[in-house]
Structures are given as structure tokens and as C-alpha cells.
Amino acid sequence: MQFDNHDDRIQYFELLLERDLDNLPCFPLPIEYRFVFYQQGDRDHWIDIEKSAKEFSTHKQGMDAWQRYYGGREDSLLNRMVFIENEVGEKIATATAYYDVIHHDPSGSGWLHWVAVRKEAQGKGLAKPLITYALNIMRNLGYTHAKIPTQTTTWLACKVYLDLGFLPIPQNAINSRNGWQIIKALTNHPALHSFDPASDDEIYASSRIK
């Protein structure tokens, strides 16, 4: 079975990864693209990118997420939220070098938020340049450690994070062990050598198992 980059047929588990921000890898952006920072009025571009990547199904969901994470904090995005623009100036990808806005993490780590590439721009070598660029922004802001929240349904993004040296946070590896076993089954990533792969029945969401 082939799974999409964002696939709700996969059983959902919350995943959390981390790495230090020293010795970051470098992935240059393809020449026809460029990075730009958030400017006032870019909210709808952000929502459109996230919708295209299946993070939201409606504009209202995007508005609700924006309000929860960034509402009233838009000025802080001017040097934290980055977009990739294509050769005609269309914003096609985004990531934010941010922090824990729900105040559950006392560590002071930076948090990488809402990484997304528009559906039609996926597979063009943009994800790793985008992520590493945002991580360098985070490091330049004074953070020494980064965390990334994700989920099993975006399994391919999780593989990219593992490729970039992120590892499961130890407590999450325990709490979401079944989720990491799903990622092991889908990616066979060497960083997950301590996890057994999930079976086919364990990969699928319960609504698919009849």
C-alpha cells in the first residue's frame, strides 16, 4: 500500500522529536526559489499553504489555528516565520522558528512550527532547505536546542526530520511507542533501530480495519 505524504488512513499518534542546534546540515535552496520573511498580510498565504498540504480542510480551521498560535503575536513573526517563493513570487512553503506557545515545555527550547509545502511543489527538494533555514534562524535567535511536534499521519515529514538528525524525545518514545513503530514500518529509518515495525493492521486507523 502506498501512503500519501499526509494520510488519514494511518493510525494517529502524536510524535515529538528533538536535536541540538550545533552542526546543522546545509541544504541549499534550488536556484529558482528564494526565502522571504513574513510580512503583515501574509496570514492567508500561510493558511493556503497549510490547506494545500492537508493540514486544514477549511479556511476556518486555518483561522482558528492562526489565532491559537500567532494571534496577537504577529509582530514576532517578522523574523521567525519564513516562506519560500517561486520564480513568479508565489508563496509555496512555510515554517516558523518559534517557541512553546502553550507553555507545557519549561526547557526553553525552540519549537519548529507548521512546516508545509504546497502539494504541487512537493518532491522538488524544498523541505530540507526550508527546515534547515528555519533551524538556523532559531539558532541565530539564541536557541541551542530544537523540538518538532508532528504525527504519524505526516509520516514522510517525520522521515525528513530523522534524516536531519532529530530523534524521538525519550518520554514520547515511551508514550507514543506504537506511533514510532508505525514510522519504523513505513520508513525503516536506521535512527529507529530500537523499535519493532508495526504490523499492517497496526498501521491503519481503526476505521479502516473492518
Residues 6+ apart with CB under 8 A from 66: 43, 46, 47
Q: Euclidean distance between the first and final Cα of the chain, in Å?
A: 17
| pTM score | 0.93
| Helix, strand, coil % over all residues of the chain, rounded to 5 | 40, 20, 40
Kindly report, residue by residue over 64-122, the tens digit of the pLDDT.
999 999 999 999 999 999 999 999 999 999 999 999 887 777 788 999 999 999 999 99
Q: Span 7-25, mean pLDDT?
A: 95
Letter for the amino acid at 28? P
**Domains in the chain with CATH codes:** 7-15+150-210 (no CATH), 23-143 (3.40.630.30)
Residues 6+ apart with CB under 8 A from 47: 56, 59, 62, 63, 66
So what's the pLDDT on residue 130? 97
**Backbone phi, psi, residue 190, to 5°:** -65, -25
Residues 6+ apart with CB under 8 A from 3: 9, 10, 155, 186
Kindly report, residue by residue over 158-207, the tens digit of the pLDDT.
999 999 999 999 999 999 999 999 999 999 999 999 999 999 999 998 74
So what's the pLDDT on residue 209? 41
Strand partners, 14: 151
So what's the pLDDT on residue 34? 97
